Chains A and B, each alone.
Chain A
């Protein structure tokens, strides 16, 4: 492989980022991503903030982190469901 091989563009990196992260890219394509990321601080920043976005989505709704979440079903709703059940 020639060292002068052109880099893939940022547009391709950001379009297929999901596949790169989940390990779904063929090895040669993943290698091209690595080459690009080694020289592109903008895509590195994007990749990092994308990963943080995914983590923040999950973490913001974890029971311990989630203020408005009721731990129990309201009693009136429990009774409403049980009433439906009794009716068959």
Chain B
């Protein structure tokens, strides 16, 4: 669909939603709900929490329709509301002390050389990604990251929010967010490394 066409359809749907049409709201849910539930599952991981977050997000979206300015896509706007509902849920969960990430970061000798040295991953991504067990490995490894790092990685590398948006949502500076994302990627790389290093399978 062309962006202008999508925006046009958004405008029609929006007008009906603002007029209070329950049918339009049902259409909104059916069109965008599946994708929003997938987003919530990635962020909160618990099925019940994910469903609650989506429900809360749609109700909240409906109540704040007047504040939607139409400058962005309806889908983008909904996405941000779902992400925010998920982050609130993550924050309200009972906090456990977070596992340290240091063990998953690269190690260096006193002179600054990396030790042990890194080994190439020779198989290209477009081949790796076709293997179901690799996709499962990546998802499981992301789930193993300490929570505050996992959240940043999901927001930036999977949900593709901008640095500025992710930093605002998490209440940290952009620089802090960049460093945390870097650590998260390094840690994920370390978890994948034993499986992917060396020659192609």
Chain A residues at the B interface, C-beta cutoff of 8 Å = 9-12, 14, 17-19, 41-46, 48-50, 52-61, 63, 65-67, 69-74, 77-78, 80-82, 84-86
Contacts and interface: CB of A to CB of B under 8 A. Distances in A.
The secondary structure that dominates the A interface is helix
A66 B136 CA distance: 9
Interface size classification for chain B: 35 or more
26 contacts: A12-B112, A14-B106, A18-B178, A18-B182, A19-B178, A45-B117, A45-B118, A45-B119, A45-B121, A46-B118, A48-B120, A48-B121, A49-B193, A49-B197, A52-B121, A53-B189, A57-B138, A59-B129, A60-B139, A65-B135, A66-B135, A69-B41, A70-B37, A80-B55, A81-B54, A82-B25
A42 B74 CA distance: 45
Nearest to B183: A18
Is chain B's binding surface mostly helix, strand, loop or mixed? helix
B118 A73 contact: no
A10 B107 CA distance: 10
Interface stretch (B3-11, B27-35, B84-92, B94-102): B27-35
A71 B157 CA distance: 21
B21 to A, nearest CB: 11
Contacts of A10: 106, 108, 112-114
B158 interface: yes
B132 interface: yes
Contacts of A71: 34
Contacts of B197: 49
Contacts of A74: 37, 51
